[in-house]
Structure 1
Amino acid sequence: MKPVVSAMKAWSCTVMSVFAIIILTVLGVLFRSGHEELVGGIDDPADGKAVSKTVFSAVFVYIAFFVFCGLQGLLHIRENRRGAISL
């Protein structure tokens, strides 16, 4: 199986996805717990649990990106071990 994206794009996407998963998970947990800084003001959302569901759905999208891009990176490693020339 051949990689779809370049090695640099695959590894960049993988690293950014890890950071996005960590940051969005922390935000989702804070919204779910009703942290005062996030749901305590006048302009802030009243229903933190609904917001956390949306944030966690974005986390699942980034998990899919992480899996896809990580597999693409691993395909590049496997292809380089076979002696293929990359242009």
Structure 2
Amino acid sequence: MKPLVGAMQAWSCFVISIFAIIILSVLGILFKANHPELVGGDEDPENGPEVAATVFIAVMVYAGFLVFCGFQGLLHIRESRRGAIAL
């Protein structure tokens, strides 16, 4: 199987996806807990769990990117071991 994207793009996407998953997971947890800094105060929380659900959907999208880009990176490693000439 041949890679669809370049090696640099695959590994960059992989690293960015890791950071995005970590940051968005923390934000999702804080929104789900109705943290006052994020939802407007202790007295009037504004749909924290609904926002958290949307953030967790974004985490799932980045998890898909992580799997896809990691697979592409591994394909590049496998291709380079076979002695393919990179142009």
Bin the TM-score by the shorter chain.
Answer: over 0.9
Q: CA deviation at 1:45?
A: 6.5
Taking the aligned partners of 2:52 and 2:36, their CA distance within structure 1 comes to 14
Taking the aligned partners of 1:19 and 1:37, their CA distance within structure 2 comes to 22
Name the structure 2 match of 1:34. 34
CA RMSD of aligned residues (A): 1.3
TM-score, L = length of structure 2? 0.93
Identity %: 69
- The alignment covers a number of residue pairs equal to 85
Taking the aligned partners of 1:86 and 1:65, their CA distance within structure 2 comes to 24
Name the structure 2 match of 1:59. 59
In structure 1, list runs of 5 or more residues that go unmatched. none
Counterpart residue identity of residue 16, structure 1: I
C-alpha distance after superposition, 1:14-47 (max 9, x if no partner): 0000000000000000000111111134xx9701
Counterpart residue identity of residue 51, structure 2: V
Name the structure 1 match of 2:20. 20
List 4+ stretches of structure 1 deviating above 3 A.
none
Taking the aligned partners of 1:50 and 1:8, their CA distance within structure 2 comes to 36
Q: CA deviation at 1:55?
A: 0.1
Counterpart residue identity of residue 78, structure 2: R
Q: Secondary structure at the match of 2:46?
A: coil
Q: Secondary structure at the match of 2:5?
A: coil
Taking the aligned partners of 1:13 and 1:23, their CA distance within structure 2 comes to 15
Taking the aligned partners of 2:60 and 2:45, their CA distance within structure 1 comes to 22
TM-score, L = length of structure 1? 0.93
CA contact (8 A) 2:34 2:45 kept: no
